[in-house]
Amino acid sequence: MAVVLLPGLLASEVGGQREFELDATTVGAALRALPVAGLVLDETGAVRPLVHVYVDGERERDLDAPLAPSATIRIVAAIAGGSYDRSKMVPMRLGGWANLTIVVGHLVALGWAWTAFRWVDIEVEMRELADQSAALPYLLTLLVAAFFLIFGLYGLSAAGDLRRLPLLRPVLGFIAVVYLLRATLLGGIQDVLAGDVKQVMFAAIALLIGLCYASGFRTLSKQKRMDTARPEPSS
């Protein structure tokens, strides 16, 4: 019987089982017999664009190609923003949308900039910038909003809602570290000790978002380890 080997992302859809023995005479028949056939083949029965099929180490594109009883089929599925395992990326999606909400908040706050600066306790610093140039506080606010926008887009990319962005996994790790530092060493602990309710609330939000991104980073890291557990076949 032919043996079909699944990558980690597809195996996670069937309880982690990576190897299947199937009685099939063609490559297509073997793929259609898989419990994850819907993730390997599209609605027309063709192999999905992000899926590569190898038979005994050689790339095979013809689904009607005959299959020897002792053949080994290896499926290689590229990750496109978490296409196959989105259920594990719900926290990542929440983190992404939280950042986009923060972006909207920054843009709306520009209409009442000095009231907003006073509310978040940065009025003094912003007035010092305004003494140099009246536009600087507004430009800085837009710059900060741009960073939150990038953070949000990377979160949604990891969740599978957008195309895969470059350096996805390391960027997620960086964002998680930034938020977790903000929630702890960069003010969070001091705010708790000082009893500053508003700043404690900000630290708590940063902690939750940081944990969302840390969860996404952990999931992608685990998937990468699973997919590199076996050597890649030659093309």
Q: Which of 207, 7, 227, 228 is nearest to 91 (CA)?
A: 207
Range list of H helices, 133-196: 136-158, 168-183, 188-194
**Chain segment 118-176, per-residue pLDDT in tens:** 998 899 999 999 999 999 999 999 999 999 999 999 999 888 778 778 898 899 999 99
Q: Is 155 left (phi over 0), alpha (psi -120 to 50) or beta?
A: alpha
Integer Cα distance of 23 and 16 in angstroms: 21
Helix (H) or strand (E) holding 185: none
Instruction: Provide the CATH number for the domain formed by 2-77 in this structure.
Output: 3.10.20.30
Integer Cα distance of 124 and 132 in angstroms: 13
Integer Cα distance of 150 and 152 in angstroms: 5
Within the chain, all domains assigned CATH 3.10.20.30 are found at: 2-77
Helix (H) or strand (E) holding 74: strand 72-77
3-state secondary structure of 142: helix
- Bridge-based pairing of strands 72-77 and 2-5 is parallel
Phi, psi dihedral angles at 131 (to 5 degrees):
-65, -30
Tokens for 135, please give them: 């536009």
Handedness of CA 41, 45, 49, 53 (dihedral sign): positive
Asked whether residue 187 carries a pLDDT value surpassing 70, the answer given is no
Q: How many CB atoms lie within 10 A of CB 133?
A: 10
Helix (H) or strand (E) holding 53: strand 51-55
3-state secondary structure of 12: helix
Tokens for 60, please give them: 């095979």
Tokens for 74, please give them: 């290896």
**Chain segment 42-77, per-residue pLDDT in tens:** 888 999 877 889 999 888 989 999 999 899 999 987
Beta bridge partners of 51: 77
Q: What is the pLDDT of residue 117?
A: 94
* Chain center to CA of 116: 32
pTM: 0.63
Q: What is the pLDDT of residue 197?
A: 81
Q: What is the pLDDT of residue 160?
A: 74
